[in-house]
Amino acid sequence: MTHQPTNPRYGFLIDASYCIDCRSCMVACSVENNVPMDSTRIWIKETGITGTYPDLKRFTAPFHCMHCKDPSCVSACTVSALTRNDDGIVSYNQDICIGCRYCVYACPFGVPNYQWDEPLPLVIKCDMCFARLGEGQQPACAATCPTGAIQFGRYEDMLAEAHRKINERPDKYVQHIYGEEENGGTATLYISPVPFEELGFPIAGTTSPAYSNRLVTEGTPMVAGAMLVGLTGVYLTIKHLREEAERDRVEAAKEKAAQSAGEEQ
Amino acid sequence: MSIDLSRREFIQLGAATAGALAVGQLLPLMVVQAAQEAGMLNTSGDGTIPSMCEMCVWRCGLLAKVRDGRVVKLDGNPDHPHSRGHLCVRGQSGLFNTYDPDRVLHPLIRVGRRGEGRFRRVSWDEALDYTAERMLEIKQTYGPEAMVFSSTHNLSQVQFENLLYAYGSPNYGTQRSLCFNAMIVANLMTYGIEEPERIYDDQLQYIILTGRNLMEAVSTSETGDLSAAIARGAHVVYLDPRFTKTAAKATEWLPIKPGTDLAFHLALLNVIIGEDLYDHAFVTSYTVGFEQLAQEVAAYTPEWAAAITEIDADRIRRIAREFAAAAPHALAHNGWRTSNFINSFQTQRAITILNALIGNWNVTLRAGGGEASGALGTIPQPAYPRSSAQRLDHVPSRFPVVPLKLGVFQELRDSILSGEPYQAHGWFIARQNPVMSLPDRARTLQAFEKMDFIVTVDILVNDTAWFSDVILPEASYLERYDPLNVVGDRAYLRQPVIEPQGEARSALWIYKQLGERLGLGDYFQYTDEQDYINQQLAPLGVSLEDIRSQGYVDLPPSEAGGFEWNTPSGRIELFSDTLARVGFSGVPVWEPPPEPPQGEFYLLTGKVAQSTQFGTQNNQMLHKYADEPRLWLNEGVAADRGLVDGDWVEVSSEVGVGHIRLLVTPAIRPDCVYLTPGFGHLSRGLTTAFGLGASDSALHVTYTDPVSGSQALSQTFVTVRKV
Amino acid sequence: MTMLRKIRHELNTMPKFVYITAALTVFGLSIALYRMFVGLGATTNLSKEFPWGIWISFDLATVALSGGAFTLAALVYVFQFEDLHPATRPTVLAGLLGYSSVMVILLFDLGRWDRFYNVFLHPNVSSALLEVSWCITAYTLILVYELSPVLLQNSRLKWLLPIIKKYTVPIVIAGVTLSTMHQSSLGTMFIIMSPRLHPLWSSMLLPVFFLISSFASGISLVVAGSSVSHWLFGRSLKIKTMAKLSWFIPWILAFYLVIKFGELVIAGEWDLLFSSGNYSLLFWAEIIFGVLIPIGMFAFRQVRFSRTASLIGALFIMGGTVLNRFDVTWFSIASVNGEVYTPHWMEIAILVGVAAGVVTVYSLIARYFPVYEETEPHQLPVEVRPFENSHAAGD
């Protein structure tokens, strides 16, 4: 009943050491996907300027949907507007969404953006430019990044490359691939020269709460069935016992009446 | 029908274009037709058309995705060496320039006062007739030299020059003296070429960047190359008074005192020569003037430089040694303007010589192809009339080594004001915004008042157009042909990907139309843009139709660069006789820069990835993702003055004032402030940009380098106070 | 003419507070209309960090308190404690209005309220919120069913009553099942955001905690309602009946205490009880006021047999439940960037309007329908029996 999440077909490898905060990815994405002016599907996470003058540092990384293997948003979405397809792409159907914002709450990475200032708002979220994939192109962000900070390809290749890069340069990279296990594993992988918390990445556990959620919600019909049966049983039992008690009481009264009538005679 | 641009309502993107398309559809859909015949668009008008970006001078090749006659996405063309499949943030936003609701799509003639923003819409015929009439009037009354022509470098520049030379005016203003005169002249003096090409290969180990904030002044392929070099472990030394995004990626950031990078480089020369670290064989075989150079730089020790630059002497010495040790796989990057002081010419000379001393020619530097190619055809034309008048920018009279095609634009403006040696009366401006680009905006506006007639060619009513008498609407780069652009061994095509909106037309068409009305039709012997390009392609035996879908044509391969240079001596000139003969120092020499008085700051300028000079602040997509324009102030200094981040301050120089919000940051030297450039627009026709930020050109004082004519934009000092 | 005079008579004799609540309702609903037009950004302080706010807290608290309806229905119809029967009508009415107010607030909370029906057309069976929506909708219909005798009793449709009564037990059983489902599912909803909840509240047992506390708060609502209606309307349950009901309270609360603290011990979070600063304070406030004090109070016979003391005890429990729901949905949510959520005045205005609407509708229904028919009248001076001259006295 609780399904086994599959490995995604495609993945991103985003290397924070290459990102120069030029925002080409943000413009490319917005143009490609007609993203409304009041929102964005991709943005830049940064450490800010750290250190004391003149020993300063600054690191940035573009951030978009992690395309989890077992997405919390998909599990949570009331109307199945968020779905994960066979290629592992988590996409959003803007025609079904009712705006309950459960996905905004459930996502451990803070990915879904919401059009707060629209009277009829939508969730704004990366969908891996699957239309471009269909035409043999890479997602808009990866295709345009001038420094190659955003790489895209088969998931296995991206994961292998991530391992290769951090193993080759332990002096340069934090020895952790963000997304390899976070939230149960995601298609978007990150490597970074600084700890991910410094970039503002949320610390996520290694299992997806979607799993626990499903354990409970998919057990519901059973519980409901059990309750119906159980309550009916209780009702009938108590009713029977009361009727019996009532019969006994009536019997006893009749006997007593008969007795007293008999005594009088 | 009078249009009042000062009160134009904001139109949602798309609405204006709907109306515009309606007009365009009266004309046959030539762009679509040609694209369909070439197989680039299908019967529904969907497909991909290759062309070239124009959001900056890098001109990346692009692939435009067209759907139903609209361009919906731009991607980098993998076949173009400047894009290699990528487009930077501005390139990606290009279609927001084309579909900007503020596009000027019809010829306009002013009705109110200059600067009121009241124009009336006229037909092309009326606008062109009127323009030609006024230009001829000026020519006949005052002589052709009374008409000033200025344009920022673009692919149709050759026909712009054609127009002005045919007309007979010597007064040609470009943006070059506001940008890189120092660099070009220095390279000409040293190598005999304008700008060598840089080679980023796997072996490049050491790079010195003086300014040239490549991670923000993005040139797509070169930015990628630098990034790859850093990732590979190349050592990058970056000089800048600000901790920019390049500083964040560089191996070492040197927060050098403004104007003193000359001292830094002279000290490098001192160490490399003094410690005998230079490439003897190369210097002996290929250079002249080593003795004079060695003599001059002997005094410029790292200790001497340390006191001036505020960079440790040991550090300077180490960098010099490391740079030389990495030879020839080391590169001292010229950049565009280095520190942007008057002494920047000397700095550029020192940088070119630094490269020569380690012998990196044909290793990390080589002669580039240039943009013209002998293999392409040219349009036949008669000889130009001789002009006997002096140039108003005093080239070559006061600037003997500045090439004519560079000019000294700010001198031109000042001569218009002074009326010396003669008064200019008319100004023809194409694809340029001198109101914003020239230093000391107030003076530029005064110069405008001296004009009897101002005509501007542009795609938006930018600030210069706002103050003009006639506005001729050019088609944006996605809507027009331009002459072929040579990059490496290919000539690339710019072709329209959509029908031009409204009545916008290409510069090639405008110049020809104007030329004919000026009686100069013989100089424009092409029937239309496509004929122009066919004439260019003729010697190669192909036509425009043959190359459309590919987007380029291969040229006969150029010869591999040798070891000859186009200098008088035929060698690399460490000592330039050309300079010496006109009274300048033949070798790089120290010129102390001015320093701000107590309590004042150096006003720095510098690039932002999401903008290009003064032309992109109205782009809605860039506006969405760019940071708010601010004045950067060091956090220690701010604390001392009781200023906090977000405060409104008044920044003023001796020529102007601006009001802007403060950015308190550790990322800048305490003696400097930095103002986000390009804002403070005056034109209400720029509905997105108007009212944002403050104008840096309103603050800049005009300082001109006597050797190269370069404007020293960072030599302005300002005060800052809270309002 | 008589119709008009009748209306005027009603308006004149209407208790004044109804006018106030009606005015507040209109005010709140007009703010809500404004929210529909301009969107959530201008009318709430909701944000990406806090996409759910006081409305959701209100919803959960109201559903918890309205648990009285199903708890009482179970006790009366399934477990057949017939002497509790008189309390059913007011409790079901309160429950129905509570659930209706929740659905109204949810409609205002939904970004795309124009597509609310998609909940029924495109269900995601893994979603706890889907389960909650379906159950609440179905249960509201059941509450209407359970209240229908009150509404139809004196109408032309009164012939339906026998049919309605015949199927009451199965409907109640369905209702109790549905209530158990959604009371617990409201807790399940927060399992998927467990990373964001403070560990003192974050737990796989949230559904169980919510369910148990809904029993307790449900019974408390009945007890409190009984005392209140005794004073306001001169009608109430017999004190003995009430005492019988409140006898359950300490046991339920004790069970709650055991599983709550047991879970913390097993999860190794015992130390957080004292080291979490404000979170510890909130947690202990819930436990002390909502659990420990009431256990102590209702363990005593004197308290159970005193209307005043029972009311106070019941209010402690209800307060503790409301605090618990607010804690889970608002106060215990950690924010990544230090942002804090406080409701926009319009959010509160809409809540006030809806709450006032509940009070208004309740009062009007109680005035014109035999809601208190089966409760005991008491000898009180005429002036404190404001509904005496209404039609509710069964005439």
Q: Is the pLDDT reported for residue C117 higher than 70?
A: yes
Structure tokens at A240: 């029977």
Q: How many CB atoms lie within 10 A of CB C340?
A: 8
**CATH code of B523's domain:** 3.40.50.740
HEC assignment per residue over B396-445 = CCCCCCCCCCCCCHHHHHHHHHHCCCCCCCEEEEECCCHHHHCCCHHHHH
Q: What number is the average pLDDT over the span C308-332? A: 93
pLDDT band of C380, cuts 50, 70, 90: very low
Domain that holds residue C25: 16-393
Give which of C36, C55, C112, C341 to mutate to test A binding, by max A Cβ within 10 Å.
C112
Q: CA B169 to CA B172: how far, in whole Å?
A: 8
In chain B, the number of structural domains is: 3
pLDDT band of C376, cuts 50, 70, 90: low
A83 phi, psi to nearest 5 deg: -140, 155
Q: What number is the average pLDDT over the span C174-203? A: 88
Task: List chain A domain ranges.
Answer: 10-217, 222-265
Q: Is the pLDDT reported for residue B136 higher than 90?
A: yes
* pLDDT (0 to 100) of residue C395: 37
The reply to whether C384 falls in a domain is yes
Q: What number is the average pLDDT over the span B615-634? A: 97
Yes or no, beta carbons of A22 and B216 under 8 Å apart: yes
pLDDT band of A3, cuts 50, 70, 90: low
Q: Is the pLDDT reported for residue B372 higher than 80?
A: no
Same domain for B357 and B433?
no
* pLDDT (0 to 100) of residue A265: 57
Same domain for B127 and B239?
no
Yes or no, beta carbons of A77 and C127 under 8 Å apart: yes
pLDDT in tens, B410-438: 999 999 999 999 999 999 999 999 999 99
CATH number of the domain located at residue range(s) A10-217 in this protein: 3.30.70.20
Judged by a CB distance cut-off of 8 A, whether residue B249 touches chain A is: yes
B5 phi, psi to nearest 5 deg: -70, -20
CA-closest candidate to residue B677, choices B695, B661, B665, B689: B695
pLDDT band of A133, cuts 50, 70, 90: very high
HEC assignment per residue over A86-141 = CCCCEEECCCCCCCCCHHHHHCCCCCCEECCCCCCCCEECCCCCHHHHHCCCCCHH
ipTM value, please give it.
0.93
pLDDT in tens, A252-264: 888 888 887 776 6
Domain that holds residue B271: 181-369
Judged by a CB distance cut-off of 8 A, whether residue B69 touches chain A is: no
* pLDDT (0 to 100) of residue C6: 86
CA-closest candidate to residue C106, choices C138, C50, C58: C58
Q: Supply the mean pLDDT for chain B.
A: 93
CA-closest candidate to residue B378, choices B167, B57, B162: B162
* pLDDT (0 to 100) of residue B311: 97
**Residue B253 near residue B668, CB atoms below 8 Å:** no
Give CA separation, C203 vs C173, C189, C195, C263, in Å. Answer: 29, 11, 10, 8
Q: Is the pLDDT reported for residue B21 higher than 60?
A: no
Same domain for B633 and B709?
yes
The reply to whether B223 falls in a domain is yes
Q: CA C348 to CA C341: how far, in whole Å?
A: 13
State pTM to two decimals. Answer: 0.92
| Residues above pLDDT 70, as percent of chain C | 93
Strands (DSSP E) found in chain C: 235-236, 376-377
Bridge partner list, B572? B287
The reply to whether C278 falls in a domain is yes
* pLDDT (0 to 100) of residue C112: 94
**Chain A residues with a Cβ under 8 Å from any Cβ in chain B:** 17-18, 20-24, 26-28, 30-32, 37, 40, 49, 51-54, 56-59, 137, 140, 143-148
In chain C, the number of structural domains is: 1
Subunits in contact with chain A (3 or more CB pairs closer than 8 Å): B, C
Q: How many CB atoms lie within 10 A of CB B589?
A: 16
Chosen domain end from B546, B578, B612:
B546
Same domain for B166 and B193?
no
The reply to whether B626 falls in a domain is yes
pLDDT band of B26, cuts 50, 70, 90: very low
Yes or no, beta carbons of A235 and C173 under 8 Å apart: yes
* pLDDT (0 to 100) of residue C385: 42
Q: Which chain C residue has the Cα nearest residue A239? A: C80
**CATH code of B651's domain:** 2.40.40.20
Q: Is the pLDDT reported for residue B394 higher than 90?
A: yes
Same domain for B255 and B211?
yes
Give CA separation, B476 vs B54, B96, B403, B549, B612, in Å. Answer: 9, 11, 30, 20, 15
pLDDT band of A218, cuts 50, 70, 90: confident
Give which of A94, A231, A239 to mutate to test C binding, by max C Cβ within 10 Å.
A231
Task: List the single range of B207-221, B243-257, C135-149 with lowest mean pLDDT.
Answer: C135-149
Q: Is the pLDDT reported for residue B27 higher than 80?
A: no
Chosen domain end from B513, B531, B546:
B546
Q: Which residue do the tokens 């970006």 mark? A: B53
pLDDT in tens, B651-705: 999 999 999 999 999 999 999 999 999 999 999 999 999 999 999 999 999 999 9
* pLDDT (0 to 100) of residue B162: 95
Same domain for B678 and B612?
yes
Chosen domain end from B530, B546, B562:
B546
**CATH code of C320's domain:** 1.20.1630.10
Rg (CA), chain C: 22
Same domain for B536 and B681?
no
Higher pLDDT, B24 or B193: B193
Q: How many CB atoms lie within 10 A of CB A49?
A: 16
Structure tokens at A175: 């020895």
Higher pLDDT, B86 or B2: B86
Same domain for B148 and B243?
no
pLDDT band of C195, cuts 50, 70, 90: confident
* pLDDT (0 to 100) of residue C349: 95
Task: List the single range of B115-129, B570-584, C381-395 with lowest mean pLDDT.
Answer: C381-395
pLDDT in tens, C238-280: 788 888 888 889 999 999 999 999 999 998 888 888 888 888 9
